[in-house]
Amino acid sequence: MFKAKVYVTTKANVLDPQGAAVQQALHTMGYAAVDDVRIGKYMELTFDTTDRAQAESELEQMCKKLLANPVVEDYRYELED
Amino acid sequence: MFKAKVYVTTKANVLDPQGAAVQQALHTMGYAAVDDVRIGKYMELTFDTTDRAQAESELEQMCKKLLANPVVEDYRYELED
């Protein structure tokens, strides 16, 4: 069994309206020290296999094909035993 | 300046339809080894302050009030210099 933690974030040069909206809300709530907010996806996947290489290569493919949009998003992941 | 990384996930006993849909799609794509998928939010916030205690206490309040829904979500965060 492996557990993958996947982090998908919008690329730095891509506008993040959701982040801007949250930042605005936080300022309205009085949290003026908040300078920038970026919002992305955090996913936890469990792999029912004992083959780490298989899990890693499949995870890379999944990120490219489904979990992240390579045009506007970056992704990184951690694979734990 | 501090950088906060916030992870918001649905509580373990709460149904995650988005995660179930992604798991189904991954199986359809041939990734049968994927056993469970949980999808949450990943946020990066920048604090324009030098007071770590202030950043930490405000971050805790923000999570409780806005960034996470304490009824169905858990949150954790890391605060970096």
Range of the domain at A23: 2-80
Q: ipTM value, please give it.
A: 0.87
Q: According to the model, what pLDDT value does residue A77 have?
A: 97
The percent of residues above 90 in pLDDT, for chain A, comes to 96
- The shortest C-alpha distance from B10 to chain A (Å) reads 11
Confidence bin at A19 (pLDDT 50/70/90): very high
- The shortest C-alpha distance from A7 to chain B (Å) reads 7
* Average pLDDT estimate for A16-32: 96
* Average pLDDT estimate for A16-42: 96
Give, in order, the Cα–Cα distances in Å from B55 to each of B44, B74, B78: 13, 20, 11
CATH number at residue B53: 3.30.1280.10
Express each pLDDT in A43-54 by its tens digit.
Answer: 999 999 999 999
Residues 6+ apart with CB under 8 A from B77: B4, B5, B6, B7, B59, B63
A2: left (phi over 0), alpha (psi -120 to 50) or beta: beta
Q: Which residues of B touch A62 (CB under 8 A)?
A: 26, 29, 31, 34
- Nearest 5°: phi and psi at B29? -80, -5
In total, how many domains does chain A have?
1
- Averages of pLDDT over runs of 10 residues in chain B (81 residues) are 95 93 97 95 95 95 96 95 88
Closest CB from B36, B41, B62 relative to A42: B41
Work out the mean pLDDT of chain A and round it to a whole number: 95
Q: In chain A, which residue's Cα lies nearest the Cα of B67?
A: A22
For residues A77 and B19, what is the distance between their CA atoms, to the nearest angstrom?
17
